[in-house]
Structure 1
Amino acid sequence: MDLSNPISAVIPTLEGQVLRVLAGTSQPLTASTIARLVSRGSAPGVRVALRRLAATGTVVQDQVGSQYEYRANRAHAAWSAIQSAVDFANGFRTRLDAQIAHLVAESAQGARVTCAVFGSTARGTADVDSDIDLLLVVPDDAPEVLTESMSRRVAEGVEAFTGNPANVLLLTAGQRDEMVGRDDALVRSWRAEARTVHGPALLPTAKEA
């Protein structure tokens, strides 16, 4: 799925983004304002999407002077389904993080494991072709059979949940600490963008380091 535009998994056309914008306000908006607020799509494309939505009645078009304004028609029979799609999109990052945490907890068998999301998914720029980059940090004495099984189960579960392949980087705590000690470039990127979704913090704070 397009991780930076999750509503496209339900409404794959530009209409999905337009509906998400209009669902977020009770105020009428012009086509140019909506075009600025959607994450992708051209102004002409937004105008076409608005005309289509107005034709279905899910969006109301009002002429104000020489221009048109648009607002969501929450009285429409389909609005509850639209709102569900919008709520799904707005809450997707939280749902994804919770699902990853669940998969790790389920497969860690009580081991103290840290899992963090990094890369384009953490930056909010991932699209339909993006992998989901995950880092698993396991205890130094964790059995190899456990860590390999956990990596595989987490990767499979994340791909089933999103449709995107998961790229799992597995490190022991000692390996992670060695990378921190030499200020590895990857560590610097983790400091800038990674978010821990399960277990202890991925990296010490500047005060602790």
Structure 2
Amino acid sequence: MQLNKPFATVTPTLDGDVLAVLASADAAFTISQVQRILTTASGEGIRKVLNRLTAQGVVLHDQVGRTNTYRLNIEHLAAEPIMALSRLNSKFLNRLEEYLQEWGTTLRYAAVFGSAATGQMKLDSDIDLILVRACNSGHDGDDGWEQRVTELARRITAWTGNDGRIVEYAADEFRAAAAAGEPLLRDVAKQGLTVAGRRSWLNAQLRPASGRS
């Protein structure tokens, strides 16, 4: 699936894109406003979709003078599943965060990065995740770590249909990579979505490296 296009999981048509816009805010939209958000859709195509959805009662149409506005009918029986679909991205991040809380102090930090974080996913995109293990390399630590990582990758695929691409660091390896100015870590700092640990910890690890650059 594409986390940035949640309605594509049930419909590949423009209808899903338009519903995503209407569900994004408790507000009325003109056709031109919807078009500015979708960018690649034509005004005529959007108008036809809104007319179909209005006929179904899912969308409410108002006209003031020459201005036509459209908004999601939140009282419609279909409104709840529509809203649920519109929130798939945040639902995924929340579920991931809740699952990683079970790892306790074994996990120092985790973040989603790459196209899943920037909203540029394609249908076959991987979901990139960085994990920083609390113990240093060479320490036995938690014997179940590898099993947990394997299960995490399986769950990501089960939840989304996409492969989970997990990058792992022990704490000392992470600090060494940060000191060396590892580009991947700069990407995580710039675009990553924290799902375990604190963003302030990540920034503190990267600060010495950025100070030298």
After TM superposition, give the deviation of residue 205 of structure 1 in Å.
Answer: 3.0
* TM-score for the superposition, normalised by structure 2: 0.79
Query: Per the alignment, in what secondary structure is the counterpart of residue 50 of structure 1?
Result: helix
Superposition deviation, residue 110 in structure 1: 5.1
Corresponding position of 1:135: 130
Confirm or deny: 8 A CA contact 1:5 1:39 kept in the other structure.
Answer: no
Structure 1 residues not aligned, in runs of 5+: none
1:49–1:203 CA distance, 2 compared to 1 (3 A) = same
Q: Which amino acid in structure 1 is aligned with residue 31 of structure 2? A: A
Q: Which amino acid in structure 2 is aligned with residue 121 of structure 1?
A: A
Structure 2 regions of 5+ residues with no counterpart? Answer: 209-213
Paired with 1:7 and 1:58, the residues of 2 have a C-alpha distance of 15
Secondary structure in 2 aligned to 1:156? Answer: helix
Map of 1:5 onto structure 2: 5
The SS at the match of 2:194 is strand
Secondary structure in structure 2 of the residue aligned to 1:205: helix
Equivalent residues of 2:110, 2:194 under 8 A apart: yes
Say if 2:91 is the partner of 1:95. yes
Query: Secondary structure of the residue that 1:169 maps to in structure 2?
Result: strand
Question: Normalized against structure 1, the TM-score is what?
Answer: 0.80
Q: CA deviation at 1:48?
A: 2.5
Question: CA 1:120/1:142 → structure 2, altered by over 3 Å: closer, same or farther?
Answer: farther
Distance 2:65 2:178 in 1: 61
Q: Displacement of 1:3 after TM fit?
A: 0.8
The within-5 A match list for 1:112-151 is 112-138=107-133, 139-140=135-136, 141-143=139-141, 146-151=144-149
Partner SS state of residue 126, structure 1: coil
Secondary structure of the residue that 2:174 maps to in structure 1?
A: helix
How far apart in 2 are the matches of 1:43 and 1:191? 38
Number of aligned residue pairs: give it: 203
Counterpart residue number, 2:211: none
Matched-pair contact (CA < 8 Å) for 2:110–2:131: yes
Residues 73 and 79 of structure 2 are in contact (CA less than 8 Å); yes or no, is this contact kept in structure 1?
Answer: no
Residue 52 of structure 1 is matched in structure 2 by 52
CA-atom RMSD in angstroms: 2.9
For 1:47, the aligned partner's letter is R
- Percent identity reads 31
Instruction: Indicate conservation of the 8 Å contact 1:118/1:195, yes or no.
Output: yes
Could you tell me which amino acid in structure 2 is paired with residue 85 of structure 1?
I
Mapped to 2, the partners of 1:98 and 1:71 lie a distance apart of 27
- The 1:83/1:121 distance shift into structure 2, 3 A limit, reads same
